[in-house]
Structure 1
Amino acid sequence: MARIEDLAESFGRHIATPWQRTVAGAQRVVMVVYDKELERTLRARKLAFETATREAGHDWREIDLADAFAEWMAAADYRDEYFASPEDLQLKLEAEFPAFIADRVRAVLRSHHVTENTVVAILGAGSLFGLARISQVLRIIEGDIKGRLIVFFPGHFERNNYRLLDARDGWNYLAVPITAHNE
């Protein structure tokens, strides 16, 4: 699949440009947007993005959110009741899950290994669909971004609007989009 390699090449060109140190946290986010069908391919070739980052002289850290819901649910006191009556889970999801995700990402962002020269990459954003909005999580953590935060985003970007998995109304965000089609 040349599309992921093309995306990695575009990403590499972007990440190699000198970084402004005075930009706001929201402007330190880079959304790598790809077709949802390419999720497994991207995961298999994510090393291309790490390599491009390291060749540009930056450090690389990553966090995978694919298991976040399972981890959060396993820790819930009333998990068995929620499985019996899933509609009761909605309020807890809205009130607590975005903060849980933010805390997981924040733990990496605040790690002593992460500096102003570090790229922190988020994988598994698609697994949040229907559970938490990425835009909400990004708003919570944007003040903690020291270097750059890369979000691998299975969906579409069009007219400054991001749509996760092509299914939800999008949101407008200040992040830099990297797309296979250079939109």
Structure 2
Amino acid sequence: MARIEDLAEKYGRHIATPWQRTVAGAQRVVMVVYDKELERTLRARKLAFETATRQAGHEWHEIDLAPAFADWMAADDYRDEYFASPDDLHLKLEAEFPNYVAERLRSRLCHPDVTDTSVVAVFGVGALFGFARISQILKAVEADIRGRLVVFFPGQYERNNYRLLDARDGWNYLAVPITLHGEGGWA
């Protein structure tokens, strides 16, 4: 149980360091990487991350992407047809869903309450697995990050490579990793 508290402590040390204002959007992303088995524990203890953020003098805003697919499908006029024939959904999913998620995240990032001293925390990225690539979504919103975008990432970080839910194909990203396991981040 103390693993999440240790991760929150490392996050707190990082978020309290002075922020460079001239870094690119990709460098304003912080990936808090944890074992996928700790997802529920992390959600139950997310107040520790919010508290660390506020103690560092930053505002805390959050968004949960877990219901994104259900919301997207519920809004589609042809959802019943897709449920009857799921193979037909593949093209629509690939073409439209990542943009839907990026817009949802962008709306939070561009909210008037979010400033260049704000943290926008993203939960629920594991629910996107198999539907959209988080790398594609982050790339789409990089220009909209004012302060810091903190992505709570259930998976692994090894040799500068992120793997969501320990899947085989990962991606290399410029974000700052915060992990419990020495490599990258504030070990």
The interval holding the TM-score normalised by the smaller chain is over 0.9
Which residue identity lines up with residue 60 of structure 1 in the other structure?
W
Which whole-Å CA distance do the structure 1 matches of 2:124 and 2:118 have between them? 20
1:133 corresponding residue in structure 2: 133
Gaps in structure 1 of 5+ consecutive residues:
none
Gaps in structure 2 of 5+ consecutive residues:
none
Task: Provide, for residues 112-169 of structure 1, a one-character-per-residue CA deviation record: whole Å limited to 9, x for no partner.
Answer: 0000000000000000000000000000000000000000000000000000000230
Secondary structure of the structure 2 residue equivalent to 1:66: coil
Equivalent runs, 1:10-49 vs 2, <5 Å: 10-49=10-49
Equivalent runs, 1:1-183 vs 2, <5 Å: 1-183=1-183
Task: Spell out structure 1 runs of 4+ moving beyond 2 A.
Answer: none
TM-score (norm 2): 0.97
Secondary structure of the structure 2 residue equivalent to 1:119: strand
Secondary structure of the structure 2 residue equivalent to 1:172: coil
Q: How many residues align?
A: 183
Which whole-Å CA distance do the structure 2 matches of 1:20 and 1:138 have between them? 20
Secondary structure of the structure 1 residue equivalent to 2:121: strand
Which whole-Å CA distance do the structure 2 matches of 1:167 and 1:111 have between them? 33
Secondary structure of the structure 1 residue equivalent to 2:141: helix
RMSD value, Cα = 0.5
Which whole-Å CA distance do the structure 2 matches of 1:5 and 1:82 have between them? 42
C-alpha displacement at 1:2, in angstroms? 0.9
Which whole-Å CA distance do the structure 1 matches of 2:87 and 2:33 have between them? 31
TM-score (norm 1): 0.99
Which whole-Å CA distance do the structure 2 matches of 1:174 and 1:167 have between them? 19
Which whole-Å CA distance do the structure 2 matches of 1:149 and 1:12 have between them? 14
C-alpha displacement at 1:63, in angstroms? 0.1
Secondary structure of the structure 1 residue equivalent to 2:13: helix
